[in-house]
């Protein structure tokens, strides 16, 4: 990284190098059967420069050819993106608890065993198909720049997605359990999901009239993602959003 920074400083007024390395383990269970095991090792480096008050940027997953990355960064200056700022000198950052050393010892075998345990508990209590995805990821990030900044951080993430499919449909109940370290899902959390699934499996045909509706907190995502999609900048700009002509107008009652 320092070699790349030195070369970038030689062709610009200011420069910054950002690197990210990650290792991800994941397993997928479908209806109690192991469908996939995957391990990914990825790394990437981005270069940002400021030259004559213009911003240049380039990214690569292969740092063997630094010259190509530098050339691409210089070529991006043709976009004439103004950079009316200086890269900062950051000497210290808050120490956040974003990493668990225990996750580095986690293997795919541990993920498989946990998925089996979850499936056995759920499948014995519901009629729907149970699908489970479990994964763990460790990331290392480092930033250095021409102002003297050299900071880095490490994060760990563990997550399990449990889905129970309603019979004869594509609809399903989903729950995501996540944290920075491996932890078995508590039985009471799974039992709550099982109880809700069994209660919601009964088909109800409401009368065709206006009525009050009660939503669980977890269901808000199914409502808000539609609003997020409609307010996406690109979608609004391309006039593909139903609210593209309502900028500045009130959409909901207060």
For residue range 7-16, list pLDDT tens digits in order: 999 999 999 9
Structure tokens at 140: 């290392």
Q: What is the mean pLDDT of the chain?
A: 92
- The answer, yes or no, to whether residue 221 has pLDDT greater than 90, is no
For residues 186 and 184, what is the distance between their CA atoms, to the nearest angstrom?
6
Asked if 158 contacts 172 with a C-beta cutoff of 8 angstroms, the reply is no
Per-residue model confidence as pLDDT tens digits over 111-124 = 999 999 999 999 99
CATH superfamily of 2-203: PmbA/TldD superfamily (3.30.2290.10)
User: What ranges do the domains of the chain cover?
Assistant: 2-203, 213-244
Rounded CA-CA distance 69/85 in Å is: 23
Q: What angle do CA 123, 126, 128 make, to 5 degrees?
A: 85
Token duo for residue 115: 């998925």
What is the reported pLDDT for 254? 65
Report percent pLDDT > 90 for the chain: 67
Q: What is the pLDDT at residue 155?
A: 96
CA distance 199 to 81: 56
Tell me the pTM.
Answer: 0.77
| Mean pLDDT (whole number) for 69-76 | 96
241-251: average pLDDT: 86
Phi, psi of 180 (to 5 degrees): -95, -5
Widest pairwise Cα distance in the chain:
73
Per-residue model confidence as pLDDT tens digits over 158-188: 999 999 999 888 888 889 999 999 999 999 9
Burial of 52-74, coded b for 16+ CB within 10 Å and e otherwise, reads eebbbebebeebeeeeebbeebb
Instruction: In whole angstroms, give the CA distance from residue 193 to residue 166.
Output: 13
| Lookup: tokens for 234 | 């690109």
Residue showing tokens 């668990």 = 100
């Amino acid at each position: 990284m320092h070699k790349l920074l030195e070369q970038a400083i030689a062709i610009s007024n200011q420069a910054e190098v950002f690197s990210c390395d990650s290792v991800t383990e994941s397993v997928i269970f479908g209806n109690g059967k192991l469908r996939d095991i995957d391990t990914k090792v990825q790394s990437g480096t981005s270069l940002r420069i400021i030259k004559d008050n213009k911003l240049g940027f380039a990214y690569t997953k292969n740092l063997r050819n630094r010259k190509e990355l530098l050339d691409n960064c210089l070529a991006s200056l043709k976009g004439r993106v103004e950079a009316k700022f200086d890269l900062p000198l950051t000497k210290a950052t808050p120490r956040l608890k974003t990493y668990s050393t225990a996750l580095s010892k986690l293997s795919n075998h541990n993920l498989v065993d946990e998925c089996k345990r979850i499936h056995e508990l759920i499948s014995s209590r519901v009629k729907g198909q149970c699908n489970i995805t479990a994964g763990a990821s460790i990331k290392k990030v480092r930033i250095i720049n021409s102002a003297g900044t050299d900071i880095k951080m490490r994060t760990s993430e563990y997550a399990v997605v449990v889905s129970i499919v309603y019979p004869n449909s594509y609809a399903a109940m989903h729950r995501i359990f996540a944290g920075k370290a491996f932890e078995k899902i508590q039985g009471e959390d799974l039992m709550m999901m099982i109880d809700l699934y069994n209660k919601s499996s009964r088909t109800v045909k409401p009368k065709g009239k206006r009525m009050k509706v009660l939503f669980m907190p977890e269901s808000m995502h199914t409502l808000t993602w539609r609003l997020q999609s409609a307010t996406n900048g690109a979608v609004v700009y391309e006039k593909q959003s139903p609210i593209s002509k309502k900028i500045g107008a009130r959409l909901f009652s207060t």
